[in-house]
Structure 1
Amino acid sequence: MSARSFCTSVTSPDGLSRVLREIRGAVTSPTGGLVFVTGPLVPHLHTLATRVAAAWKGVPTVLVPGSGVLHERAELEGVPAASGILWSGGKVTPFALGDAEDSPRALGESIGQALGARPSTALLFHRTEGFDTSLLEGLATAAPSACVFGAGTVGAGGVVITADGEERLARAVGMSIKGLASPIVAASPACRLVSELVPIEEASGGLVLRLGGRGALDELSQCAPGSSNPGASSPLVFAALAESDDVTEDGRPRFVVRPVRGIDPSRRGVMIGADARPGMLMAFAVRDAQTAKADLETMARVVSKNALGAAPRFALYLSCAGRGQGLYGAPDTEVRILRQRFGDLPIAGMHAAFEISPREGRPSRLDLYTSVLALFRSPS
């Protein structure tokens, strides 16, 4: 078998060791692994790393804490649990980088230099604290041909276990994967637009003043759900930002979700942050379960279509902690959609603090309330 995934409720390192040994016995000549943990297991990452190194001896692995874990058959949230995947094929090189004094951009450049000039796939996990999008810009400058995706850890930073069994902790951990076909990676937001995407005409220091010919606060007040019924409870409203030339295969703008950080009534402005710049498109949006499911179904269909003619080996699925059962009101909603499309393909992943998705010819981007699917295939 070229890959094997697992997902289990487990309360102790000993319980995880048994699962890891079983997975190791099912994969011939493994070359890389990922283990995701949640709940009370997170404070015991060092002990868990020792168990992973023993059970998967000689296999470079990254151990990642999240708010939930998943594989192709289940999502486990709110319980002590672990999931993961072990695969054969390709060359995996782990990294753990980031001293306290490194700026985010300098850290990104260090990661890019570690990846090298040759095209590669880079899986990146970063602590929530201290993350800045300038890291992704620095990484793209140093390694412009790398396909970079990943997520934000929850509760602690990740741990790298090298092929020699050495454990490394850092702000940013991950691995480069070479020798397999470049994965098909796509992202799916969980938000529904409640206004049209229109150009930002005026912004200052992250405060959007005018868009679409009117004050930003006027636009927000007009489109906010419940504005016509002040007594009704309203969902939280976010900003959706897009670039006019960044579109999906069916021509829809690819937007990123950002929180509304505040308002300035005197200037009729809405504070979004540095990502909101004049010339970009902006709308307002709310989390919506039906939209999230429909968009995920579309994304899975497109990824499956693009994989025709290649042999899928395994997939990684990184979803936002703001999705899952809290959004849908029922467990396993997203993995059921993936299973309907990909069957028994081994999949592993986590519920993350944030997501990182790649963009062709541009730096990877920070996503919120989004899921990222990466389908790995055999080399052609």
Structure 2
Amino acid sequence: MARSFSATCGPDGLVHHLAELRSAVPSASGGVVFVSGQLAQRASSVAELIRSAWRGVPACVVPAAGVLSERGEIEGDTGASGVLWAGGRVTPFAVPERAEDPGRLLREALARTAGGRAATAILFARPGAFAPGMLEGLGAGAPGACLFGAGTASGAAIGVTSQGELLEGAVAGLAITGLAPPLVDASPAARLLSAFHPVEEVSGGIVLRAGGRSALDLLSAATATLGEQASAQPLVLAALAEPQRAPETGAAGPRDDAAGESGAAGSAGSADSAASVRYVLRPIRGIDPSRRGLLLGDEARPGVRIAFAVRDAAAGRAGLEGTARQVSRNALGSAPRFALYLSCAGRGQGLYGAPDVEARILRQRFADLPIAGMHSSFEIAPWAPGEVRLALYTGVLALFRAPS
């Protein structure tokens, strides 16, 4: 059993909705509440309300740029959405601010809360205290765990334990055991403008050469394809993919290891390969005209493949429709219970030019399934078993279900 809510409201209205959910799910085992606007600025007070209204139920309160449910999306206003469910064992966790080795502490927290069992970990990270390196080797803390999450709007997420303790830190979230791992998939709101090319030369985070050409020349060639159809200020991004693996030979002949990769953080066909290529989006932070280079940061290492993409509403809509369709197909034979949807704040009405576009897509696919979610500062998207990557302009959908 699960119930969701969303509303434009202040603290008094939130108390009412929390009480309604608690009455509807009397044997609740866990919950998540996303808050925006003034409620996000008062996350500690919201956590106190949850501790009182959901006494004994572990939960997490998450400051967001906006909130959403199957009913619609709330942007640019004070509001809340949430879901309360029964089933499984839920354990909040948090990594302290200014920790000496936050990545290690996060792995230890997951190992402690998962207890060696199959687990799901939902991570909410505060942007100012989070580094992508914290995600490296995260699966080692809980082998086989299902991991996903998002970046908060600004403040820290707060866990509420069943004993009423409040846990706050650079990363906070929930570990869930005893419940079937959710089906998780993700898609970016971006359209590729070029093929992928291996990075050949890097200096101090500046990509100088890739695919036998200067990085700036590659960017210029890619953006030239935008032509007069481009918007006044198109947002052009770098798309980074893993190094190309050597082809394997088997009974069926040569095979490209890129083939069959799911679009966890993003996928698209490219001119250099008909296979689907998995990639993450990164901002172009600057240009070095004298060396014809692009400042992308430490992730753009030699061997990594680079392409260029533009933020695109049609691609975002089609990507979410495909993700929802695939997740729904994979859920056949089980009973969906509820879903979480974490969507970049760079999507929403600012991208589509209309409200509730993504909420409508989810409702069309899943009808009245309880859904709660947020508009996030970044996304923590599935990449491989036990691995996640920081993603941008991406929507992450997690469908929790029970065997039927």
Q: TM bucket by the smaller chain?
A: over 0.9
Whole-Å Cα distance in 2 between the matches of residues 326 and 227 of structure 1? 20
Which segment is superposed worse, 68-77 or 198-207? 198-207
Cross-structure match for 2:319: 295
- C-alpha separation between the residues in 1 aligned to 2:370 and 2:227? 47
What do residues 291-344 of structure 1 show as CA deviations (whole Å, max 9, x unaligned)? 110111111111111111011111000000000000001010001111111111
Provide the rounded CA distance (Å) in 2 between the counterparts of 1:153 and 1:237: 24
CA displacement at 1:131 relative to structure 2: 1.1
Alpha carbons of 1:183 and 1:232: their partners in 2 closer, same or farther (altered >3 Å)? Answer: closer
Which amino acid is the alignment partner of residue 100 of structure 2? D
* Post-superposition offset of 1:222: 1.6
Tell me which moved more, 172-181 or 323-332: 172-181
Letter paired with 2:150 = A
CA distance in 2, matches of 1:141, 1:89: 26
Report the equivalent of 1:87: 85
What is the Cα deviation at residue 373 of structure 1? Answer: 0.2
Preserved contact between residue 333 and residue 403 of structure 2 (Cα < 8 Å): no
C-alpha separation between the residues in 1 aligned to 2:311 and 2:226?
Answer: 17
* 1:248 corresponds to: 262
Distance (Å, rounded) in 1 between the aligned partners of 2:110 and 2:203 = 31
Bigger shift: 318-327 or 38-47?
38-47
Structure 2: 5+ residue runs without aligned partners?
A: 245-256, 268-274
1:234 CA displacement: 3.5
Match of 1:314 in 2: 338
Q: Quote the residue 1:38 is aligned against.
A: 36
Match for residue 335 of structure 1 among 338, 359, 366: 359
Superposed CA RMSD: 1.9
What per-residue deviation string (whole Å, max 9, x for no partner) do you get for residues 202-230 of structure 1? 2233221222221110011122258767x
**SS in structure 1 opposite 2:361?**
helix
Q: What is the Cα deviation at residue 93 of structure 1?
A: 0.8
Please name the residue that 2:283 is paired with.
259
Q: Is 2:20 the partner of 1:18?
A: no
Q: Is 1:270 the equivalent of 2:270?
A: no
- SS of the counterpart of 1:286? strand
Deviates more, 1:319-328 or 1:198-207: 198-207
Query: Out of 39, 52, 72, which is 1:74 matched to?
Result: 72
CA contact (8 A) 1:38 1:69 kept: yes
2: CA distance between counterparts of 1:88 and 1:232?
A: 47
Q: Say whether the 8 Å CA contact 1:226–1:234 is kept in structure 2.
A: no
The aligned counterpart of 1:155 is 154
2:304 corresponding residue in structure 1: 280
How far is the alpha carbon of 1:94 from its aligned partner?
0.8
1:138 CA drift (Å):
4.2
1:214 and 1:180, CA in 2 relative to 1: closer, same or farther beyond 3 A? same
CA distance in 2, matches of 1:187, 1:109: 23
Whether contact under 8 Å (2:138, 2:386) holds in the other structure is no
- In the superposition, the TM-score normalised over structure 2's length comes to 0.89
Residue equivalent to 1:185? 184
Q: Deviations over 1:105-135 (max 9, x none)?
A: 2333333333333221100101001211221
Higher alpha-carbon deviation: 188-197 or 112-121: 112-121
**4+ residue runs over 4 A deviation:** 225-229
Letter in 2 for 1:307: A
1:134 aligns with 2:133: yes
Partner Cα separation in structure 1 for residue 226 and residue 373 of structure 2: 38
Runs (5+) with no aligned partner, structure 1: none
After superposition, the C-alpha distances for 1:181-217 in whole angstroms (9 at most, x for unaligned) are 1111001100111111222222233221222221110
Matches within 5 A, 1:207-222: 207-222=206-221
Matches of 2:165 and 2:318, distance apart in 1: 43
CA shift, 1:379, in A, is: 4.4
Find 1:361's aligned residue among 358, 367, 385. 385
Q: Percent identity?
A: 55
User: Residue type matched to 2:393 in 1?
Assistant: Y
Task: Point out the more displaced range, 211-220 or 358-367.
Answer: 358-367
Q: Do the aligned partners of residues 159 and 225 (structure 1) sit closer, same or farther apart at CA in structure 2, a change above 3 Å counting?
A: farther
On the 8 A contact 2:110/2:175 being kept in 1, the answer is no
Q: Distance in 1 between matches of 2:41 and 2:76?
A: 15
- Aligned length, in residue pairs: 377
